[in-house]
């Protein structure tokens, strides 16, 4: 347990599934050097198989007795989806050097190998039967858990949790690529980099955070659904949403890792009866949400409706005003000075994400 804990809240009522967060993360951290298949931040349609495929049933976390359980390591092609390239040469330059036939079509511009899965494979599919289909978007990053299963599983003690903010990191100099952390993480948010034979994961953009800036996924979020700050900061949005209003809930708390990403569960339009009239019942069954966000879901949804009703009447609601997210400064409560002040002189082990490229002789080479 660290001294303080950074946390993130995501309001699923505002997520539009645009994947801007995914791209912010991807282009910043994982578009090269063995990380192409990784989405430290992904947004998946739920109910659905998610990313990696069926992660919710892939095991890991702690059992009721608090014992670490082993899950499986997802398969690259089947569960993550192999990151494909496009065959431009064959598709667009096929007739180079030949007399072009009279529009006898060259092969289509397509992936070099047909993809079997991907990070957003079941986009917008969800469940239910028309017209009562339902789905919602679930953005996921590493939960930077207070009781991280990945940390517990690592025989090399390569995974550590920072004292000053609770960010969970993989020490790249200690990691030997055993992948126990990947088995153990019930959210499957640790990834194996085959190029360096190391585990890698979301770093909560700590180089940004230490400068007082929100993680890229949160800062770039055009839906303005994300709130970032310290859980114990009573003036911050995270404290208000998680502790004061208790409107944000952890995902699969029963995994036992005490995650630090919280979700405001989604309301949904009413089911329609056989004649097409709206019923009083939300179309996402409560059970679907309870399974993911725990038993307090109905209570939180009722709270959201009640506070919204207050706003409709022209009254004040701190909860609604917080969720409306007027300004970045109110959504992200971070402090560069805190890191400057709290920085321990020697003990602080910040391993830059600069990756190493294994050379044949075994000596590491710094990535360009």
Partner 1 sequence: MFTGASLAYGIPNVGTSLDAWFEMDYIVLWGFNPNVTRIPDAHYLWEAKWRGAKVVVIAPDYNPTAIHADLWIPIRPGTDSFLALSLVHVVLEENLYQEEFIREQTDLPFLVREDDGRLLRLADLRKGSRDDVFFCWDEASGKHAALPGSQGHFRKTLRLGTLRPALTGRWQVTGHDGRAIPVTTAFERVRAEAAKFAPERTQAHTGIHPEVVRRLAREYAAAHDPGLTIGFSLHKYAWGILACWGQALFCALTGHDVVDTEHQWSLGGIGPLSSPKPARFGSGFLGEWFAGKMWETFLRHYAGKAFAERSGIAPEELVRLAEHAREEKWFAHHGEPKVRLLFADNTFRRNKSSVHYRKAVLDATELLVNANVRMDSSAELADYVLPAASHYETWDIRGEVGYHRFANLAVPAPGLAPVGEAKTEWEICRLLAEHIAAAAKRRGIDRVADPEFTVTRGEAKEPVTRDLDTLADDFTLQGKLATDKDVVQWLLDNVPAFRPWKLTDAAERGFIVLGSEAGLTSPLYADRPYRSFEEQFYLKRPYPTLSGRQQFYVDHALYLRLGCACPTARAPLHPPKFPLAFYSPHTRWGIHSTWRTSKLMLRMQRGVPHVNLSRADAARRGIRDGDRVRVFNDVGAFYARAKILPALQPGTLMMDHAWEPHQFAGRAGMDTPVAGLLSPLELAGGWGHLRFGAEWDGNQLANESAVDVERA
Please report, as ranges, the residues that interact with partner 1 according to CB under 8 A: 13-14, 16-20, 22-23, 26-27, 31, 81, 83-86, 88, 91-92, 103, 105, 108-111, 114-115, 118-121, 123-131, 133-137, 222-224, 266-270, 272, 275-278, 308-309, 311-313, 320, 323-325
Q: Which is nearest to 300 in space by CA: 11, 8, 4?
A: 11
Minimum CB–partner distance for residue 52 and partner 1 (Å): 14
269's tokens: 């339009």
Report the nearest approach of partner 1 to the CB of residue 25 (Å). Answer: 12
Residue number, 9 or 169, with CB nearest to partner 1: 9
Query: Least separation, in Å, of the C-beta of 266 and partner 1?
Result: 8
d(CA 210, CA 212): 5
User: By C-beta, is 296 or 308 nearer to partner 1?
Assistant: 308
**C-alpha distances out from residue 281 to 189, 268, 270, 347, Å:** 34, 9, 5, 55
Distance separating alpha carbons of residues 220 and 205, to the nearest angstrom: 13
Nearer to partner 1, 27 or 173 (CB): 27
Least distance (Å) from partner 1 to the CB of residue 20? 7
| Residues 6+ away with beta carbon under 8 Å from 124 | 17, 45, 135
For residues 121 and 338, which CB has a smaller minimum distance to partner 1 in the complex? 121
Q: How far is the CB of 195 from partner 1 (least distance, A)?
A: 18
Q: Residue 29 or 135: which CB sits closer to partner 1?
A: 135
Judged by beta carbon, residue 41 or residue 257, the one nearer partner 1 is: 41
Residues forming a β-bridge with 8: 228, 261
What is the nearest approach in angstroms of partner 1 to the Cβ of residue 98? 15
CA-based nearest residue to 331, from 224, 231, 177: 224
User: Is 299 or 315 the residue whose CB approaches partner 1 more closely?
Assistant: 315
Q: How far is the CB of 301 from partner 1 (least distance, A)?
A: 13
Name which of 31 and 211 has its Cβ closer to partner 1: 31
Q: How far is the CB of 11 from partner 1 (least distance, A)?
A: 8
């Amino acid at each position: 347990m660290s001294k303080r804990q950074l946390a993130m809240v995501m309001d699923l009522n505002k997520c539009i599934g645009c994947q801007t967060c995914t791209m912010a993360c991807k282009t910043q951290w994982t578009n090269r050097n063995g990380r192409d298949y990784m989405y430290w931040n992904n947004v998946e349609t739920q109910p659905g198989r998610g990313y990696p495929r069926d992660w919710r049933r892939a095991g890991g976390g702690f059992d009721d007795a608090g014992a670490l359980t082993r899950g499986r390591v997802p398969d690259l092609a089947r569960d993550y989806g192999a990151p494909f390239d496009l065959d431009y040469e064959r598709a667009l330059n096929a007739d180079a050097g030949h007399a072009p036939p009279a529009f006898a079509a060259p092969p289509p511009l397509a992936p070099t190998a047909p993809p079997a899965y991907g990070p957003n494979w079941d986009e917008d599919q969800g469940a239910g039967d028309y017209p009562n289909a339902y789905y919602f978007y679930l953005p996921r990053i590493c939960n930077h858990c207070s009781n991280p299963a990945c940390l517990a599983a690592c025989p090399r003690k390569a995974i550590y949790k920072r004292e000053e903010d609770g960010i969970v990191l993989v020490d790249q100099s200690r990691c030997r690529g055993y992948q126990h952390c990947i088995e153990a993480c019930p959210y499957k948010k640790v990834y194996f980099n085959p190029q360096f034979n190391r585990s890698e994961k979301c770093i909560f953009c700590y180089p940004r955070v230490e400068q007082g800036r929100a993680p890229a996924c949160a800062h770039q979020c055009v839906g303005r659904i994300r709130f970032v700050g310290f859980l114990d900061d009573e003036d911050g949005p995270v404290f208000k949403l998680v502790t004061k209003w208790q409107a944000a809930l952890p995902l699969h708390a029963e995994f036992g890792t005490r995650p630090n990403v919280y979700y405001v569960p989604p309301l949904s339009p009413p089911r329609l009866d056989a004649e097409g009239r709206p019923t009083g019942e939300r179309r996402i069954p409560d059970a679907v949400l309870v399974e993911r966000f725990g038993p307090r879901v109905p209570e939180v949804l009722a709270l959201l409706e009640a506070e919204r009703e207050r706003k409709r009447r022209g009254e004040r609601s701190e909860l609604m005003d917080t969720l409306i997210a007027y300004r970045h400064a109110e959504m992200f409560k971070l402090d560069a000075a805190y890191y400057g002040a709290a920085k321990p002189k020697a003990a602080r082990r910040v391993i830059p994400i600069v990756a190493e490229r294994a050379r044949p002789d075994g000596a590491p080479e710094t990535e360009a």
